Structures are given as C-alpha cells and as structure tokens.
Amino acid sequence: MYDEPLRPQFHFTAQAGWINDPNGLVFFDGVYHMFFQHTPFSTQGSAKWWGHAVSTDLVHWRQVEYAIKPDRLGDIWSGSAAVDWRNTTGLGADTIPPIVAMYTSAGGTAPESEGQPFTQSLAFSADGGTTWQPYAGNPVLGYIANGNRDPRILWHEPTGSWVMALYIDKNDYALFTSPNLKDWTRTCDITIPDTSECPDFFPMPLDGDAGNVKWVFWGANGCYLLGAFDGKVFTPEEGPYRLGSGPHFYAAQTWSDIPPSDGRRIQIAWMNGGEYPGMPFNQQMSFPCALSLRTTPAGVRLCQMPVREIEGLREGTSTHTDLSLASNKPTNVATGELLDIETEIEPGRAKAIVWSFRGNVVRYDAEKRMLSCGGRETPVDLPGRLLRLRILLDRTSLEVFAGEGEAAFHLCFVPDPANTRVEVAAQRGDAHVRSLAVHRLRSAW
C-alpha cells in the first residue's frame, strides 16, 4: 500500500476508493484535519461519505476512521468545518470547544433518502476531531433551489456572528449569517459568471499589509471576486479573475483556524480528472499551497506557492548557475519521478523556453508572454525579463508556479516508466539559465 506504480508519493490519495472535493479543512491542537468526498467501496464516485485524514505538517497524512456517513437525509456532500471557540452551538464538552462541520445532505441520491431535497446539516466533534456525530436537529437550513449545496462557514469576529457562503444555482451564490450555526438569515446574493459550486470566502491582506484587507469570494473552477465585507453584505470591487489555469484543479478550499502565529491562508484542491488505471484508489489532491494577495503588473491578484513544509522531503540537491541554452538544443537537467525544481531563466533572444517533464511540456512564449501546459495557457509578464518557475513533479502529477505564484498549472498524467528525463530548451534563439536547483524528494508515505 502507498507504493503502487501509479500512487502519488507526496500528494494525498485515499488508501482505496474514490475521492473528490476536499472538505472540512480545519486546524486544531496542532493537527490539520482534512475531510474529503469519498466512496470507500468503489473507485468510481457514487455514494458519498466524508473520509478523514490528519497531519501535523501538511505533508505526511494518516487516514483515520470515516467521519460522516450517509443517513435518511441523503449522501454527505461537500461542506466545511470550523472550531466553535465560544461554544455558540452548545455542542462542546467540558473545556474542549466543539469542532463543527456543515455539509450538504444530498437527498434523493440513495433509496434511504428518496423524496428528500438537498438541505444543509451539521455534524460535530466534542473530542478534538476524533469522533463525529450528526446534529439531532438536522437539517439546519432547508431547501432553497435546485442543487443548493457546499456550505462554507466562518466566524466573523467584528460582528460576533457566523457567516456561510452557499452555492444556490447556475452562477449564483448567497451569504447567510447566524448566531449559533443553527438559525440562518440570508443577507446577500452574489454571482460569478461561468462559475458554480464549492464557494470559499475569506479575508486577505494586500501585499502583507494587515491594515489593507480585501475579501475573496471563490468558486469551484478557481474564479474569484475581490471586494469588501461588512459582516452581512459582500460588495465586489474587482474580478472575476482566475487562479489555477491547468486542467486538473477544482473545488479548492482553505483551512480554518490557522493560528495567528502562523498567519498563512493554506489551500488544497481536488486534482480532478486524473487517470490511475489498475489502481485500488482513484483521484488525488493537489499539494497544499500558501496563498497571498499581491499587486502584480496585471493588477491585484491571488497567488499560490507550495507550503514550506515540503522542504522536509528533500534528500539531495543539484544546482546549476550561468547555464547557456543554445537555440533548439534540449538540455537534460535532471532525471527522477519525485522532484522540486526552482529556476530563473533569462529568455534573451529566444522566442520560447520549453520544458519537458517526463514528456509533459511547459512552454513560455516570449513573444506573446504566455505560459502554457496541458492544453491551457495564461499570460505571464516577466519583471526584469526573468522567468521564475517552481515545479513539483510527482509520479502522476505536475504542478507549475510562475513568479510569486500569480500563474499556476496543475496537471495529472499517466507516466511512461522508461522516461524520467527533465529537459529544457530555447527555441529560435539562445537563452540563459541564471539559476537552477533540483531537489530530489523522498516519499511522504
């Protein structure tokens, strides 16, 4: 187990069965909890439970007992979790605050829930996240429209209330507020064009300035709005923009209750659509990333970069400086299936810089200023004419981050075992590699 030919070695996968959306991401007492949409008895997504994994470093995960199972209200679809530090729900025990999860009860998805609509329900843990039980008063929010689902809860300290972002229908979302996670009032409607499902909603300091905070309203495909929030109404000011341009990045969510001493906003996504033929599991998560909100040449944008904890997997590094790339002559710079690569390249007279990672191409078109991978492309300007890339290569995935992470690609692939080469080439002109660090990684399992 965990060393099958197509098993990712530092991206999370379930021991067996299907997974999709990450759910209920919450940090408590030194432990990161990750719940996830899970079909434990099949590699195809059918009946959905909440699987559960824990980690102390976001890299080494241990799958534990299933948290929430289907019931008379429906299968357990996506949602979120947070620590109820003030015990507003009254569900805590002794001095331990409850951890509360809110999820969609997907009525009508199994014979047990036939005739039930989609509603929103609670489950809670009174022992720090070890065991979970549904709230006896479920559902806490009734049917609104069509497939209303994917509640994202957060505590809003200035107003002393809970806030929930909920997908309603088509491109429409809504915000609700509550004093106790049980009684909800609709306060605001939001639309993100060409976007649906799996909202996330959180504040971010601009350029690290805690006195200049914008709120991010996020949809499942990585499109987001930037704006202001007064505790009830979100007012969009910019966007929609998109983070994550690759074909395999969906339903991303950020962790709740990261302590102020850390201060990061950490995100993980489902790398949807990967293929793992013959494996006892199906699908994988992205590697966790720290988000930042930065002023870029294109304007204010969300950026993402792998969390620093990946450095604990490094077991050897090869470095190169002042490496010349002759026109149209590929250079082999590494071999391996588990790599963390950092590089800075001056395109010079080259019309394009082309990387091949085990046959998967990443191309920067210097004339169009476009970065492409997996059949997708996104604009990337080069401050100082310097192309900065960070690349994570796992057995079945490639993640590419440009600059400070303002452009990112997430790609799944079925590898050719005989091809472990990493090559780089300049096309139609010479280029210069200012620096290249290839970190070999060991398995997280």
DSSP strands (E only) in 157-222? 161-169, 172-178, 185-191, 200-206, 209-218
pLDDT the model gives residue 1: 79
> What pLDDT does 95 receive?
85
Say whether pLDDT at 93 is over 90. no
Structural domain contains residue 65: yes
- Does residue 284 lie within any of the structural domains? yes
Once rounded to an integer, what is the mean pLDDT over residues 168-195? 98
**Which CATH number characterizes residue 416's domain?**
2.60.120.560
Residue 302 sits in the same domain as residue 319: no
Residue 26 domain flag: yes
416: CB partners within 8 A, 6+ apart = 358, 359
Give yes or no: residues 327 and 260 share one domain. no
User: Of 273, 306, 339, which residue constitutes the final position of a domain?
Assistant: 306
Note the pLDDT of residue 385: 87
Residue 197 has pLDDT above 90, yes or no: yes
pLDDT of residue 244: 80
Report if residue 2 sits inside a domain. no
Q: Span 54-60, mean pLDDT? A: 98
Residues 282 and 342 in one domain: no
Same domain assignment for residues 297 and 244? yes
Clarify whether residues 141 and 258 are in a common domain: yes
**What average pLDDT does this structure show over 425-435?**
95
Query: Which pLDDT belongs to residue 252?
Result: 98
pLDDT of 293: 98
Residue 334: per-residue pLDDT: 94
Phi, psi of 86 (to 5 degrees): -95, 5
Instruction: Kindly tell me if the per-residue pLDDT of 146 is higher than 90.
Output: no
Q: Which residue has tokens 């709740």?
A: 256
* Per-residue pLDDT at 429 exceeds 90: yes
Phi and psi of 72, rounded to 5°?
-65, -20
- pLDDT above 90 covers a percentage of the chain that reads 94
> Which CATH number characterizes residue 139's domain?
2.115.10.20
Query: Catalytic one among 3, 21, 207, 394?
Result: 21
In terms of pTM, does the model score above 0.75? yes
Query: Does residue 240 have a cis peptide bond before it, meaning omega lies within 30 degrees of 0?
Result: yes
Query: Are both 268 and 145 inside the same structural domain?
Result: yes
> Residue 47: pLDDT above 90?
no
pLDDT value for 46:
80
Same domain for 301 and 339, yes or no, is no
On the 0-12 / 13-18 / 19+ scale of CB atoms within 10 A, 337 is middle
Whether residue 218 sits in one domain with residue 298 = yes
Domain final residue pick, 246, 273, 306? 306
> Tens digits of per-residue pLDDT, 207-233?
999 999 999 999 999 999 999 999 999
Q: Is residue 79 part of a domain?
A: yes
- Domain assignment present for residue 74? The answer is yes
- Considering the chain, what is the average pLDDT of its residues? 96
In a shared domain, residues 300 and 352: no
> In terms of residues, how long is the chain?
445
Is the domain of 235 the same as that of 256? Answer: yes
The stretch 114-136 carries a mean pLDDT of 96
41 in a structural domain: yes
User: Percent of the chain scored above 70 by pLDDT?
Assistant: 100
What pLDDT does 368 receive?
94
Expressed in percent and rounded to 5, the helix, strand and coil fractions of the chain are: 5, 55, 40
Domain region containing 182: 17-306
What's the confidence (pLDDT) of residue 35?
Answer: 98
Q: Are residues 289 and 324 located together in one domain of the fold?
A: no
pLDDT at 422: 97
- Is 21 noted as a catalytic residue in this protein? yes
Average pLDDT score over residue span 415-421: 95
Count of structural domains, the chain: 2
Same domain, yes or no, for 334 and 254? no
Residue 10 within any structural domain of the chain = no
Q: Render pLDDT for 267-295 as a digit per residue (tens, 0 to 9).
A: 999 999 999 999 999 999 999 999 999 99
Cα distances from 251 to residues 150, 286, 308, in angstroms, run 10, 11, 22
253, 280, 306 - which closes a domain: 306
| Res 374 pLDDT > 90 | yes
> Tokens 């997974």 label which residue?
19
Evaluate if residue 390 carries a pLDDT over 90.
Answer: yes
pLDDT band of residue 178 (cuts 50, 70, 90) is very high
pLDDT per position as a tens digit, 157-177: 999 999 999 999 999 999 999
